[in-house]
Amino acid sequence: MLAADVVKTQGLKGKDLLKLADFTTENIEALILLADDMKKNKENYSDALKGQLLGMIFEKHSTRTRVSFEAAMIQLGGHGMFLSSNDMQLGRGETIEDTGKVLSGYLDGIMIRTHSHSRIEALAEAADIPVINGLTDLYHPCQALADLLTVYETKGGFKGLKMVYVGDGNNVAHSLMVGSVMMGMDFTLTAPAGYEASSEMAALAQEISEQTGAKLTFTEDPLEAVKEADFIYTDVWTSMGQEEESEKRLQAFAPYQVNEEMLALANPGCKFMHCLPAHRGEEVSAEVMDGEASVVFQQAENRLHAQKAVLYSVMNK
Ligand code: CP
Ligand code: NVA
């Protein structure tokens, strides 16, 4: 770890992380290098956020985000507080703005998992402390940082690699797409008609890819898409909040299951990625999910290390 890389992340102090494009490519590179160092040298950071408090508001379910953020704060010498919206006045109609102003008087940072992206923007505007996105309907930036750390660990870099996302053009796909092209990695998204990435997000990724030289491709043909892939990534076909569409989605996405036949079309050594939770037999076969190519549990662990790098960079006083 070069001291210079740590220094570069220091420009992030006090900043919110609502989406990856809020940060520069250099910031993200530095966060990945810092996360890598934190993973290897955990003991060096045990007092990094001594006495600091992170409020963790959840308006949706979570296993990884909840536990990894709380563990991250404890490992950095601080404390994470789980705040379920069901138990807060937020769940009885207190505004997100008032909640943000009140929490700013008690805490040093807020992580929130919520529905609309405009809701986290309103919180960040009202709060005087850093706000971190733990998933909205539009983005999942902390997941993408853990994914990029996993790519870095697996292949040693980004340029010249091909990431293929197969399935729903959702929050995970949006952050992965933007993060991949920011790092100069080629990115292909294959989805059925009607389930593509949002056009606004595709335009943003296109603009970034022109600056970084990454190749960006959209196609409805999953078998064509995965040719020469170094990573195949998928996520659930029905995200939280879309449960009433699940039958329709099962049918639309059926040709998009990541299975051994699909994996065989990719580059030798291609890795399988998934943000989890997964549904074996739907978006991924059990053989691929639990097979040799799968790095899904490495990704899950990397949520902890990537988020420690973010917390250290935005909260460290
Ligand atoms: N990948 C992810 O965000 O998992 P959780 O929903 O369990 O937090
Ligand atoms: N796209 C999924 C991700 C869960 C981590 C959802 O929003 O439910």
Ligand positioned closest to the Cα atom of 172: 2
How many A from CA of 74 to the centre of ligand 1?
19
pLDDT of residue 8: 66
How many A from CA of 65 to the centre of ligand 1?
5
DSSP string, 104-155: HTT-SEEEEE-S-HHHHHHHHHH-SS-EEES--SS--HHHHHHHHHHHHHHH
Specify the CATH number for the domain of residue 251.
3.40.50.1370
CA 41 – CA 50 distance, rounded (Å): 17
**Residue 272: how many CB atoms within 10 A of its CB?**
23
Residues 256 and 201 in one domain: yes
Residues 151 and 276 in one domain: yes
Please name which of 207, 199, 153, 151 lies closest in space to residue 174, comparing C-alpha atoms: 199
Please check whether residue 15 lies inside any domain of the structure: no
Q: Which domain holds residue 240?
A: 141-299
- Number of H-type helices and E-type strands within the chain: 13, 9
pLDDT of residue 10: 72
> Considering only CA atoms, which residue is closest to atom 2 of ligand 1?
64
> Considering only CA atoms, which residue is closest to atom 6 of ligand 1?
62
Dump pLDDT digits (tens) for 63-103.
999 999 999 999 999 999 999 999 999 999 999 999 999 99
Per-residue pLDDT of the chain (317 residues; tens, 9 = 90+): 444 456 566 789 999 999 999 999 999 999 999 999 999 999 999 999 999 999 999 999 999 999 999 999 999 999 999 999 999 999 999 999 999 999 999 999 999 999 999 999 999 999 999 999 999 999 999 999 999 999 999 999 999 999 999 999 999 999 999 999 999 999 999 999 999 999 999 999 999 999 999 999 999 999 999 999 999 999 999 999 999 999 999 999 999 999 999 999 999 999 999 999 999 999 999 999 999 999 999 999 999 999 999 999 999 76
Which residues are known catalytic residues?
113, 140, 143, 235, 275, 303
pLDDT of residue 2: 47
Residues 102 and 179 in one domain: no
Residue 188, ligand 2, Cβ within 6 A: no
Please check whether residue 9 lies inside any domain of the structure: no
Contacts of 101 (CB under 8 A, 6+ apart): 126, 127, 128
Residues 199 and 289 in one domain: yes
Residues 130 and 175 in one domain: no
Structure tokens at 14: 């006090």
Residues 151 and 118 in one domain: no
Please check whether residue 66 lies inside any domain of the structure: yes
* Atom from ligand 2 closest to the CA of residue 64: 5
Residues 274 and 162 in one domain: yes
pLDDT of residue 243: 97
How many A from CA of 236 to the centre of ligand 2?
7
Residues 175 and 271 in one domain: yes
pLDDT of residue 1: 45
Residues 85 and 174 in one domain: no
pLDDT of residue 5: 56
* Atom from ligand 2 closest to the CA of residue 137: 7
Please check whether residue 184 lies inside any domain of the structure: yes
Residues 126 and 185 in one domain: no
Domain count across the chain: 2
Q: Is the N-terminal amide bond of 277 cis, ω within 30° of 0?
A: yes
Residue 240, ligand 2, Cβ within 6 A: yes
* Ligand 1 pocket mutation pick from 60, 63, 115, 297 by most atoms within 8 angstroms of CB: 63
**What letter represents residue 198's amino acid?**
S
pLDDT of residue 163: 99
CA 255 – CA 289 distance, rounded (Å): 17
Please check whether residue 5 lies inside any domain of the structure: no
Torsion of CA 172, 128, 36, 149, to 10 degrees: 10
Do the annotations mark residue 277 as ligand-binding? Answer: no
CA 232 – CA 20 distance, rounded (Å): 21
* Ligand 2 pocket mutation pick from 60, 65, 138, 236 by most atoms within 8 angstroms of CB: 236
DSSP string, 155-199: HS--TT-EEEEES--SHHHHHHHHHHHHTT-EEEEE--TT-SPPH
Residue 235, ligand 2, Cβ within 6 A: yes
Please check whether residue 132 lies inside any domain of the structure: yes
pLDDT of residue 127: 98
Report which secondary-structure segment, H or E, holds 5.
helix 3-10
Do the annotations mark residue 68 as ligand-binding? Answer: no
Residues 124 and 190 in one domain: no
pLDDT of residue 213: 98
Please check whether residue 48 lies inside any domain of the structure: yes
Residues 117 and 243 in one domain: no
pTM: 0.97
Do the annotations mark residue 89 as ligand-binding? Answer: yes
Please check whether residue 243 lies inside any domain of the structure: yes
